[in-house]
Amino acid sequence: MSRYSKDWNKIACAIKQKADWKCSQCGADFKNKSSRGSCLQVHHWNRIPEDNRPENLVALCNICHLKYHRGGKSNILIGQLSLNL
């Protein structure tokens, strides 16, 4: 947690707003959803929490986010594809 910058909440909020409060992976809409076990989170493509460049950040629901961090399925290719969006 200490690796995250002080204004991380602000940064993450801006990313979510930019993503229109939708998971960029599955499209789950969190605009009108209260926390019902799922929430929108912000993921670092390169997994470096200090790297808060907008192109390194993506809004993911906690389910998709978990998938990225589990089993090593996330590779650089997926990240690069999304960076071009």
Using CB under 5 A, which of the segments 9-17, 32-40, 42-50, 74-82 binds Zn ion? Answer: 42-50
Q: Which of 10, 18, 26, 50 binds Zn ion (CB under 5 A)?
A: 26
- Using an 8 Å Cβ cutoff, are 23 and 64 in contact? yes
Measured CA to CA, the distance from residue 79 to residue 85 in angstroms comes to 10
What are the b/e assignments for 68-79, b being 16+ CB within 10 Å? beeeeebeeeeb
- Residue (7 or 26) nearer to Zn ion, CB: 26
> Does the protein bind Zn ion through residue 57 (CB under 5 A)?
no
The residues that touch Zn ion, with contacts defined as CB under 5 A, are: 23, 25-26, 28, 43, 61, 64
